[in-house]
Amino acid sequence: MNITKVISLVLAGIIGSMSVISGASVLLGLHEVGYTVLKGLVVYNVAVGVLSIITAFLIWKNFTLSKKLTSLILIFHVSVLAYLYFFSETVAMESIKAMTFRVVVWVLIFILIRLKTAPINTSS
């Protein structure tokens, strides 16, 4: 298995699992945070976390759909980050930092997926 594939599927699986576990614990009231929680944002994070885990599986199985899902997740996160940063006055700084982290990780996954699938020109 290609190293870029391994790194991208591990990153997608870890960030997806983290989003599902932390979001579900907040939604179920198992974890209290010291700032205002936007319930819709937490639901979004859990849903996209599940999608991230599915994407990690598809990266592992080498499905073409994983490239499309990687792009879609990145677009979702960039859009939500822009909304949180520019349009939401009630969002906690922790939420903006967490979404920024997600964007950075998904940019890395996006690049790794593109490197893995890019044709290699061996002619001089």
Print the SS3 string covering the chain: CCHHHHHHHHHHHHHHHHHHHHHHHHHCCCCCCCCCCCHHHHHHHHHHHHHHHHHHHHHHHCCCHHHHHHHHHHHHHHHHHHHHHHCCCCCCHHHHHHHHHHHHHHHHHHHHHHHHHCCCCCCC
pLDDT category, 37, cuts 50, 70, 90? confident
Are 48 and 78 in contact by the 8 Å Cβ rule? The answer is no
Percent of the chain residues topping a pLDDT of 90 = 64
Whole-number Å distance between alpha carbons of 58 and 62 = 6
Q: How high is the pLDDT of residue 121?
A: 53
pLDDT category, 35, cuts 50, 70, 90? confident
pLDDT, tens only, 88-99 = 788 888 889 999
Mean pLDDT of 5-27: 95
Could you tell me the pTM of the whole model?
A: 0.87
* Mean pLDDT value across the chain: 89
Sequence length of the chain is: 124
